[in-house]
A and B are shown apart, each in its own frame.
Chain A
Amino acid sequence: MSAARFQSGDTVAVSAAYPPGHVRTPYFIRGKSGVVDSIAGAYPNPEELAYGRDGMPALPLYRVRFKQTDVWPDYAGPANDTVVIDLYEPWLEPTS
């Protein structure tokens, strides 16, 4: 595994990409920005594992926290509600 590109507290954006095949990044979070909550380790790439390959090198996996009001513009709950999603590094881009 390569060193993790992002650290806790970094603001990141999820790629607004729509590749074919097996992916573990939910549609609703693509293109949204959040903050890295923690690094959950490194795991074989599920997009490769799904097709019988070994998924190596392992990818850093991040727990990224999003404000619900950023994810859903018409979110009906309080502004401090959040959703935390586990995302593999290639799906994340720095925001700046």
Chain B
Amino acid sequence: MSPHDGPGHDHEHDHGPHPYQPDIEDSGYTERMVMAQAVEELLIEKGIITADEMRAQVELMDSREPALGAKVVARAWADPAFKQRLLEDVNKAAAEMDIDTGHIPIRAVENTPDVHNVIVCTLCSCYPRLLIGLPPDWYKSRAYRSRTVREPRVVLAEFGTEIADDVEVRVHDSTADLRYMVLPMRPAGTDDWDEDRLAELVNRDSMIGVSLASEPK
């Protein structure tokens, strides 16, 4: 049954006008949307890429999700040698787990009892998409991008994350060719946990740095 079937929605339309649901096109195209569409059509028309390659790349991006990054973090918590390799080169370390993170270099920054890291891209919205999926909308907002670098502790507190004053808050602005992820601290009381169980504690926001890894229940 589709969501539009069922009682109270029988398509007979004898009980007044159907409320109009706007489609995405109804909000109107901006100049940039038209420009993006035009560039895409030109690239395909001139044979530089095919429509299927374009579609496949979008599908690849959409297939990525925070759970992939969580698996990598859990492995780093469980295996100190892997953690070292991860801190040197996330792409290479992820490849060991058959996770292809593409050609854009990703680096991990490690939270410790003395340093809490948080990631922002003040210029646009750079994000380690091929490891943890598409960024949340707030990551791309002007408020997050400007305030995280200006008053990071206030932003963190709004996410429910209070960092003690004797811990350095280190903001990473990914302005250039690298992408960053936070390696959160392993929660206490998980010493005998295996990787699958550990991965459940690694939430997306803890890899951006606006949150900590979840506490074991």
Contacts and interface: CB of A to CB of B under 8 A. Distances in A.
Interface of A: 24-26, 28, 40-41, 43, 46, 61, 65, 68, 72, 76-78, 80-88
- Ranked nearest first, the 10 interchain pairs of A and B with the lowest CB-CB distance are A86-B176, A43-B177, A83-B171, A81-B169, A85-B173, A80-B168, A78-B165, A77-B153, A82-B170, A86-B175
B176 A28 contact: no
B185 interface: no
B152 interface: yes
B175 A81 contact: no
Contacts of A87: 175-176
B175 A85 contact: yes
Contacts of B177: 40-41, 43, 46, 61, 86
19 contacts: A26-B123, A40-B176, A41-B177, A46-B176, A46-B177, A68-B152, A77-B153, A78-B165, A78-B166, A78-B168, A81-B168, A81-B171, A82-B169, A82-B171, A86-B173, A86-B174, A86-B176, A86-B178, A87-B176
Nearest to B171: A83
B176 A24 contact: yes
Q: Interface centre among B153, B165, B176, by most A CB within 10 Å?
A: B176
B151 A77 contact: yes
Contact of A84 (B105, B150, B173): B173
Interface of B: 105, 107, 122-123, 149-154, 165-166, 168-178
A65 B170 CA distance: 9
Contacts of A81: 152-153, 168-171
B77 to A, nearest CB: 23
A5 B105 CA distance: 22
Contacts, number: 71
Nearest to B176: A86
A72 B166 CA distance: 19
B174 A28 contact: no
A2 B138 CA distance: 39
Nearest to A42: B177
A77 B150 contact: no
A84 B170 contact: yes
Contacts of B150: 72
Contacts of B107: 40
A1 B173 CA distance: 24
A88 to B, nearest CB: 7
Given A61-B177, A82-B169, A86-B176, 14 more contacts: A25-B175, A26-B175, A40-B176, A46-B176, A61-B178, A68-B152, A76-B154, A77-B151, A77-B152, A77-B165, A81-B169, A82-B168, A84-B170, A86-B175
Contact of A40 (B149, B152, B178): B178
A64 B5 CA distance: 58
